[in-house]
């Protein structure tokens, strides 16, 4: 039997707008982010699903609760779906990150997948955590449909896993806030049904995982 997952990135936050790295730190949704959360909640209210799982970080929970308000599901938190821990780099802008910790990521060269900023996770550690979390969730959800609310970096790691993209390779992956991403897991294999679907949202510029 198959498991179907709808994986949602949280709505826009104030730090998204300011281009600040959030990681395990947090920033509340903007008014636009609240509207996005309500919009994806409205879309999911038109579908049948069995469980609503969320990262336990505030911005994901805020989004999940907006969905739950429309669908009536209880929100089950799971720390495995947290964003990458950026340690001492959390709260910095992308420009500040590039100056102080250029090894974290780069758009112009392969990134060292094993570099971890002090107090944080490496890209490989994030990838392995996310891979294992989604594999375990899917294998335990045969015959079910599950909605998961998480983060841009988590979705990027899932995308890499599903498509076999090396952890350190530069790859532009569109992941808009509150986007609809649907995957099916059957017989140990993943199939992507939808990715970066924003039909329920006003036109926005997508986040692209670096």
Burial of 42 (0-12, 13-18, 19+ CB in 10 A): middle
Distances (CA, A) of 176 to 9, 11, 86, 154: 7, 9, 21, 13
Catalytic residues: 10, 83
Question: pTM here?
Answer: 0.93
pLDDT band at 154 (very low <50, low <70, confident <90, very high): very high
Structure tokens at 189: 């294999």
| Helices first, then strands: H and E counts in the chain | 6, 8
CATH class of 3-203: alpha beta
Going by the DSSP 8-state scheme, the letter that residue 25 receives in this structure is S
* H or E segment and range at residue 127: helix 123-139
Give the distance from CA 141 to its chain's centroid: 19
Is the pLDDT reported for residue 187 higher than 70? yes
User: What was the pLDDT predicted at 107?
Assistant: 58
Is the pLDDT reported for residue 204 higher than 70? no
Residue 7 β-bridge partners? 148, 181
CB 81 within 8 A of CB 51: no
User: What was the pLDDT predicted at 14?
Assistant: 97
Domain boundaries along the sequence of the chain: 3-203
User: What was the pLDDT predicted at 73?
Assistant: 98
């Amino acid at each position: 039997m198959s498991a179907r997952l709808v994986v949602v990135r949280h709505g826009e936050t104030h730090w998204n707008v300011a281009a600040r790295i959030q990681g395990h730190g947090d920033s509340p949704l903007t008014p636009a982010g609240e509207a996005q959360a309500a919009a994806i909640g409205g879309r999911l209210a038109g579908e049948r699903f069995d469980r609503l799982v969320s990262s336990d970080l505030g911005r994901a929970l805020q989004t999940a609760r907006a969905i739950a308000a429309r669908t009536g599901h209880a929100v089950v938190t799971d720390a495995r779906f947290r964003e990458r821990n950026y340690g001492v780099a959390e709260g910095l802008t992308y420009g500040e990150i590039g100056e102080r910790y250029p090894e974290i990521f780069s758009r112009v060269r392969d990134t060292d997948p094993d570099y971890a900023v002090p107090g944080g996770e490496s890209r490989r550690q994030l990838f392995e955590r996310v891979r294992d979390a989604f594999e375990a969730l899917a294998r335990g959800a045969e015959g079910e449909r599950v909605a998961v609310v998480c983060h841009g970096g988590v979705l990027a790691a899932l995308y890499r896993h599903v498509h076999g993209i090396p952890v350190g390779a530069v790859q532009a992956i569109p992941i808009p806030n509150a986007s609809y991403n649907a995957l099916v897991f059957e017989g140990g294999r993943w199939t992507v049904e939808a990715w970066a679907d924003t039909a329920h949202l006003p036109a926005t510029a997508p986040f692209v995982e670096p």
